């Protein structure tokens, strides 16, 4: 038998055990498999001490003053046991949307302060009934110390605000009573429903079936739902949300429905049902019954399964009423690029023009956490947006004890704090381009610093002077300032995830990043460690007309590549179709006279250019759209490995990758009416060949054999999978992202790692 104690400490869990060597070995061996579901084991450090002769195994009180991130778990989807409770008519939690236990339920989104205890959560407002309290106090019970424990008698309730209700009464009986009142301004005009959860969600189901849009309060914020099979509903949501083409995610009841709509690999299946319950990008089956406007021109759709008993109950009701197979749009409750809405009154105000009805509840969301988005590439998880379910899980850095703040970049911003050798990346905050998102950034910084007891000694930021995150960093007084080049941060984030030391080959390919020479970088090959980098190679720069503002118009960079390659552009119908004659003349003049242009080595812009050259897309409504379409088109090509186009490498420093030979061959293919899929596939092969070729050179010149792939371009599964395979075949050790996104959402982690290392070296 083992005796001793367990204690939550600032460094994690501390366990002291006494027993025979074999029982201790067996105990340690069993830890990873038998630890509670929410425990994450990074590392087991063991040391022997003299036996103390303890009599029993006890749980020691945790040290609140020193407690750290170990005590702020992420929000976790409902567990099987709780689902079973809510589906059992004999159970007291039958149909109860807020059922949870020690293994599941809200955490990060409801925690006000540490230690994580009920009075420190938004559940403090609810007094547990006798039944719940008994469960909470019983060590044998699944709900022992489950802080958000609740039931229909004592816990949170749904509240329906349904302006159209008077014309559509429902016959559901009321089984719960409610004494809630609504305090929002619009409730004067609304019929406030005080009915059972089932009655309320039945009404929601009816509204969805009528093609209405419903805003409902999910785990980390409001979600907007409508019938994804009904084109008019989806198009109306796009119109009201001012979101023209960016794909919407859908929610379906279970993996069976997901598989009826999309191809699902075993790995994708595993992530769909994982307790983080992210949106998983899946390839749609041809001809399925989903509105085209769910993800226009895109063969992939983001799919997520219900993550709370509330979502599950709605889908059960939908199944009862519609038969199986409901598919709902489930998108963030926000206005275009603003943060997700979390407050009831705020929802009715901000989403007034979008939602036809509101399903609120009275459990406050303290911290907004959007849905996470992932993709599976070569069987591996690739995070695209890291939020609910993942944040605020720390990443072990092990680069000293320094406490730093990293402010991230601009697009898909996150911030990151470090403490005690851990980095804690925030949840996805959004594009730092409006006041609301900046406010969310500041609020998150304030709360995370408090929760994790971080007092930063230094602040790391991107070199781009126009980023609000950089401006914020430079306004902070009394902190050491550490400016970090954008692509260096990308590579460092990949290194930090894999805990790499020493120098690596860093392939940082993205849309835009501020270079140390003041131009726009984005197709970079860096020889890098945490302390610095050499720009070994880059894509040969071309001019970007109108600077960064041109990213919505891929045709501009297509013209630039054409002029760069041929000197002039023939006035044939093909090339004249890119824009109006007037616009073409203006941009061509800017490019030839080099007025209002900026050189860029961006790989993202090259993908844009090719999408425009082959006539796929001349202008886009969100960044990365053209590249996404190009990848999708390439997937339609039957040959998995067509010949790459030609390119040359210069012997200058930095080495320039010259694509003029490729553009010549590609234009010849276009003139010869070669298929879009064929050209797109050859282009992808060319990009992979370029990366392999430059990495080989760096290996022989610099004796480096480890490659880190980072930057938004590596969200492209075809590019990433091809690079992983080809580089590994060539003997490289290759690392890509699994914990934070390859896009700018990962920048803050890289900045944090660099800052910690700099502080360690400067003493």
Site for Fe ion, rule CB under 5 A: 510, 513, 744
- Residue from 68, 70, 101, 584 touching Zn ion (CB under 5 A): that is 101
Rounded to a whole number of angstroms, the minimum distance from the CB of residue 510 to Fe ion is 4
Cβ nearer to Zn ion, comparing 307 with 632: 307
Rounded to a whole number of angstroms, the minimum distance from the CB of residue 73 to Zn ion is 13
The item of Fe ion, Zn ion, none sharing an interface with residue 154, based on CB under 5 to 8 Å by kind, is Zn ion
Rounded to a whole number of angstroms, the minimum distance from the CB of residue 157 to Zn ion is 12
Cβ nearer to Fe ion, comparing 223 with 426: 426
Cβ–Cβ under 8 Å, residues 410 and 432? yes
Task: Compose the 389-408 pattern: x for residues touching Zn ion by CB under 5 A, - for all others.
Answer: --------------------
The item of Fe ion, Zn ion, none sharing an interface with residue 584, based on CB under 5 to 8 Å by kind, is none
- Residue from 153, 191, 192, 345 touching Zn ion (CB under 5 A): that is 153
**At 196, phi and psi to the nearest 5?**
-65, 160
Asked if residue 144 binds Zn ion (CB under 5 A), the reply is no
The item of Fe ion, Zn ion, none sharing an interface with residue 745, based on CB under 5 to 8 Å by kind, is none
Rounded to a whole number of angstroms, the minimum distance from the CB of residue 142 to Zn ion is 7
Cβ–Cβ under 8 Å, residues 559 and 578? yes
Asked if residue 77 binds Zn ion (CB under 5 A), the reply is no
Cβ nearer to Fe ion, comparing 290 with 382: 382
Asked if residue 275 binds Zn ion (CB under 5 A), the reply is no
Asked if residue 79 binds Zn ion (CB under 5 A), the reply is yes
User: Could you give the CA distance from residue 380 to residue 720 in angstroms, rounded to a whole number?
Assistant: 11
* 99 Cβ contact partners less than 8 Å away, ≥ 6 residues apart: 78, 82, 85, 86, 93, 150, 151, 309
Cβ–Cβ under 8 Å, residues 328 and 342? no
The item of Zn ion, Fe ion, none sharing an interface with residue 132, based on CB under 5 to 8 Å by kind, is Zn ion
Q: Where are the alpha helices (DSSP H) in 148-230?
A: 197-209
Rounded to a whole number of angstroms, the minimum distance from the CB of residue 711 to Fe ion is 5
Beta bridge partners of 104: 101
| Residue range at the interface with Zn ion (CB under 5 A); choices 95-103, 330-338, 446-454, 470-478 | 95-103
C-alpha of 727 from chain center: 27
Closest CA to 551 of 586, 585, 510: 510
The item of Zn ion, Fe ion, none sharing an interface with residue 129, based on CB under 5 to 8 Å by kind, is Zn ion
Asked if residue 151 binds Zn ion (CB under 5 A), the reply is yes
- Residue from 70, 71, 76, 104 touching Zn ion (CB under 5 A): that is 104
Cβ nearer to Fe ion, comparing 744 with 757: 744
For residue 115, is the peptide bond before it cis, meaning its omega torsion is within 30 degrees of 0? Answer: yes
User: Could you give the CA distance from residue 344 to residue 157 in angstroms, rounded to a whole number?
Assistant: 13
Asked if residue 154 binds Zn ion (CB under 5 A), the reply is yes
- CB-side neighbour CA atoms (13 Å) of 642: 20
The item of Zn ion, Fe ion, none sharing an interface with residue 510, based on CB under 5 to 8 Å by kind, is Fe ion
Rounded to a whole number of angstroms, the minimum distance from the CB of residue 83 to Zn ion is 8
Rounded to a whole number of angstroms, the minimum distance from the CB of residue 680 to Fe ion is 23
Residues touching Zn ion: how many (CB under 5 A)? Answer: 10
Cβ nearer to Fe ion, comparing 524 with 744: 744
Cβ nearer to Zn ion, comparing 2 with 129: 129
The item of Zn ion, Fe ion, none sharing an interface with residue 151, based on CB under 5 to 8 Å by kind, is Zn ion
DSSP character for 374?
E
Cβ nearer to Fe ion, comparing 513 with 599: 513
Cβ nearer to Fe ion, comparing 623 with 744: 744
CA 458, 462, 468, 469 dihedral sign is negative
* DSSP string for 714-743: GG-HHHHHHHHHHHHHTT-EEE--SSS-SS
Cβ nearer to Fe ion, comparing 338 with 623: 623
| Residue range at the interface with Zn ion (CB under 5 A); choices 63-71, 80-88, 280-288, 447-455 | 80-88
- CB-side neighbour CA atoms (13 Å) of 377: 23
* DSSP string for 327-360: EEEEEESSSTTSPPP--HHHHHHHTTTT-SEEEE
Asked if residue 82 binds Zn ion (CB under 5 A), the reply is yes
User: Could you give the CA distance from residue 12 to residue 428 in angstroms, rounded to a whole number?
Assistant: 25
User: Could you give the CA distance from residue 561 to residue 613 in angstroms, rounded to a whole number?
Assistant: 9
Rounded to a whole number of angstroms, the minimum distance from the CB of residue 428 to Fe ion is 15
The item of Zn ion, Fe ion, none sharing an interface with residue 309, based on CB under 5 to 8 Å by kind, is none
* 327 Cβ contact partners less than 8 Å away, ≥ 6 residues apart: 227, 228, 229, 250, 251, 252, 257, 261, 290
- CB-side neighbour CA atoms (13 Å) of 614: 28
Rounded to a whole number of angstroms, the minimum distance from the CB of residue 710 to Fe ion is 8
Cβ nearer to Zn ion, comparing 6 with 154: 154
Rounded to a whole number of angstroms, the minimum distance from the CB of residue 603 to Fe ion is 10
Cβ–Cβ under 8 Å, residues 361 and 720? no
- Residue from 3, 120, 124, 129 touching Zn ion (CB under 5 A): that is 129
Rounded to a whole number of angstroms, the minimum distance from the CB of residue 742 to Fe ion is 9
Rounded to a whole number of angstroms, the minimum distance from the CB of residue 105 to Zn ion is 6
The item of Fe ion, Zn ion, none sharing an interface with residue 249, based on CB under 5 to 8 Å by kind, is none
Asked if residue 454 binds Zn ion (CB under 5 A), the reply is no
Asked if residue 146 binds Zn ion (CB under 5 A), the reply is no
The item of Zn ion, Fe ion, none sharing an interface with residue 356, based on CB under 5 to 8 Å by kind, is none
Pairing of strands 279-284, 373-377: parallel
Asked if residue 300 binds Zn ion (CB under 5 A), the reply is no
Cβ nearer to Zn ion, comparing 154 with 689: 154
Closest CA to 262 of 228, 294, 302: 302
The item of Zn ion, Fe ion, none sharing an interface with residue 153, based on CB under 5 to 8 Å by kind, is Zn ion
Closest CA to 302 of 258, 267, 352, 337: 258
User: Could you give the CA distance from residue 402 to residue 415 in angstroms, rounded to a whole number?
Assistant: 16
Rounded to a whole number of angstroms, the minimum distance from the CB of residue 309 to Zn ion is 9
Cβ nearer to Fe ion, comparing 510 with 529: 510
- Residue from 76, 132, 342, 717 touching Zn ion (CB under 5 A): that is 132
Rounded to a whole number of angstroms, the minimum distance from the CB of residue 661 to Zn ion is 60
Cβ nearer to Zn ion, comparing 153 with 479: 153
Cβ–Cβ under 8 Å, residues 251 and 306? yes
Cβ–Cβ under 8 Å, residues 366 and 110? yes
The item of Fe ion, Zn ion, none sharing an interface with residue 679, based on CB under 5 to 8 Å by kind, is none
Cβ–Cβ under 8 Å, residues 634 and 682? no
Largest alpha-carbon pair distance within the chain?
Answer: 91
The item of Zn ion, Fe ion, none sharing an interface with residue 82, based on CB under 5 to 8 Å by kind, is Zn ion
* 435 Cβ contact partners less than 8 Å away, ≥ 6 residues apart: none
Cβ–Cβ under 8 Å, residues 125 and 277? no
Task: Compose the 586-625 pattern: x for residues touching Zn ion by CB under 5 A, - for all others.
Answer: ----------------------------------------
Residue at token pair 């898909």: 412
The item of Fe ion, Zn ion, none sharing an interface with residue 744, based on CB under 5 to 8 Å by kind, is Fe ion
User: Could you give the CA distance from residue 176 to residue 110 in angstroms, rounded to a whole number?
Assistant: 24
User: Could you give the CA distance from residue 402 to residue 752 in angstroms, rounded to a whole number?
Assistant: 10
Conformation bin of residue 468: beta by default, left when phi > 0, alpha when psi is -120 to 50:
alpha
Task: Find the residue with minimal CB distance to Fe ion.
Answer: 510
User: Could you give the CA distance from residue 117 to residue 148 in angstroms, rounded to a whole number?
Assistant: 9
- Write out 415-432 in H/E/C secondary structure: CEEEECCEEEECCCCECC
3-state secondary structure of 451: helix
Interaction site with Zn ion (CB under 5 A): 79, 82, 101, 103-104, 129, 132, 151, 153-154
């Amino acid at each position: 038998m083992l005796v001793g104690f367990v204690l939550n400490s600032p460094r994690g869990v501390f366990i002291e055990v006494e027993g025979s060597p074999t029982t201790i070995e067996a105990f340690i061996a069993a830890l990873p498999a038998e630890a509670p579901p929410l425990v994450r084991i990074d590392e087991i450090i063991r040391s022997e001490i003299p036996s103390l002769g303890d009599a029993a195994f006890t749980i020691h009180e945790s040290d609140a003053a020193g407690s750290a991130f170990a005590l702020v778990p992420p929000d976790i989807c409902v567990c099987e046991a709780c689902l079973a409770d809510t589906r059992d008519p004999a159970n007291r939690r039958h149909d109860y949307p807020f059922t949870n236990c020690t293994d599941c339920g809200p955490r990060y989104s409801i925690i006000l302060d540490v230690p994580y205890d009920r009075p420190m959560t938004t559940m403090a407002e609810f007094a547990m009934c006798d039944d719940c309290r008994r469960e909470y106090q019983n060590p044998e019970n699944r709900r022992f110390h489950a802080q958000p424990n609740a039931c229909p008698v004592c816990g949170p309730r749904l509240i329906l605000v349904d302006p159209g209700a008077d014309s559509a009464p429902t016959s559901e009986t009321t089984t719960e009573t409610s004494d809630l009142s609504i305090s929002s301004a619009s409730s004067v005009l609304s019929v406030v429903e005080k009915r059972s959860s089932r009655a309320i969600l039945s009404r929601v189901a009816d509204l969805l079936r009528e093609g209405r849009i419903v805003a409902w309060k999910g785990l980390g914020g409001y979600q907007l739902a409508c019938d994804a099979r009904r084109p008019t509903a989806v198009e109306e949501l796009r119109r009201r949300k001012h979101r023209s083409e960016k794909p919407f995610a859908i929610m379906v009841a279970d993996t069976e429905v997901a598989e009826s709509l999309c191809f699902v690999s075993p790995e994708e299946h595993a992530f769909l049902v994982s307790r983080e319950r992210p949106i998983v990008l899946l390839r749609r089956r041809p001809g399925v019954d989903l509105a085209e406007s769910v993800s226009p021109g895109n063969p992939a759709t983001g799919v997520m399964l219900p993550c709370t008993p509330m979502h599950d109950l709605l889908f059960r009701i939908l199944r009862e009423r519609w038969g199986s197979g409901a598919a709902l749009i489930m998108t963030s409750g926000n206005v275009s690029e603003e943060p997700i809405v979390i407050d009831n009154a705020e929802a009715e105000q901000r989403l007034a023009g979008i939602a036809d009805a509101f399903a609120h509840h009275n459990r406050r969301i303290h911290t907004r956490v959007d849905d996470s988005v992932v993709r599976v590439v070569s069987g591996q998880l690739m995070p695209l947006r890291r939020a609910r379910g993942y944040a605020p899980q720390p990443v072990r850095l092990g680069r000293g004890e320094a406490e730093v703040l990293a402010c991230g970049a601009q697009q898909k911003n996150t911030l990151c704090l470090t403490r005690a050798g851990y980095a804690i990346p925030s949840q996805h905050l959004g594009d730092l381009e409006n006041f609301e998102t900046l406010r969310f950034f500041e609020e998150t910084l304030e709360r995370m610093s408090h929760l994790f007891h971080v007092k930063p000694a230094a602040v790391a930021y991107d070199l781009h002077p126009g980023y609000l995150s950089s401006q914020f960093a430079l306004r902070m007084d009394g902190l050491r300032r550490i400016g970090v080049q954008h692509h260096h941060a990308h590579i460092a984030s990949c290194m930090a995830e894999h805990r790499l030391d020493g120098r690596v080959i860093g392939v940082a390919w993205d849309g835009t990043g501020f270079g140390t020479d003041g131009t726009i970088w984005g197709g970079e090959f860096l020889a890098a460690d945490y302390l610095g980098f050499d720009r070994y190679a880059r894509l040969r720069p071309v001019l970007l007309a109108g600077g960064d503002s041109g990213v919505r118009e891929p045709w501009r960079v297509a013209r630039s590549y054409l002029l760069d390659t041929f000197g002039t552009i023939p006035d044939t119908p093909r090339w004249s179709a890119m824009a109006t004659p007037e616009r073409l003349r203006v941009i061509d003049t800017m490019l030839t006279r080099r007025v209002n242009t900026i050189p860029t080595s961006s790989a993202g812009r090259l993908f844009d250019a090719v999408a425009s050259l082959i006539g796929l897309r001349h202008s886009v409504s969100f960044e990365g759209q053209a590249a996404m379409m190009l990848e999708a088109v390439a997937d339609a090509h039957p040959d998995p490995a067509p010949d790459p186009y030609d390119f040359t490498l210069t012997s200058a420093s930095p080495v320039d990758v010259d694509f003029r030979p490729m553009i010549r061959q590609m234009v010849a293919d276009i003139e010869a009416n070669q298929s879009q899929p064929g050209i797109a596939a050859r282009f992808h092969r060319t990009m992979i060949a370029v990366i392999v070729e430059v990495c080989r050179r760096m290996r022989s010149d610099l004796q480096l054999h480890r490659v880190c792939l980072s930057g938004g371009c590596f969200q492209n599964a075809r590019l990433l999978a091809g690079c992983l395979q080809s580089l590994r075949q060539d003997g490289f050790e290759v690392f890509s992202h699994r914990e934070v996104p390859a896009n700018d959402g990962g920048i803050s982690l890289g900045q944090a790692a660099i800052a910690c290392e700099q502080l360690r070296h400067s003493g």
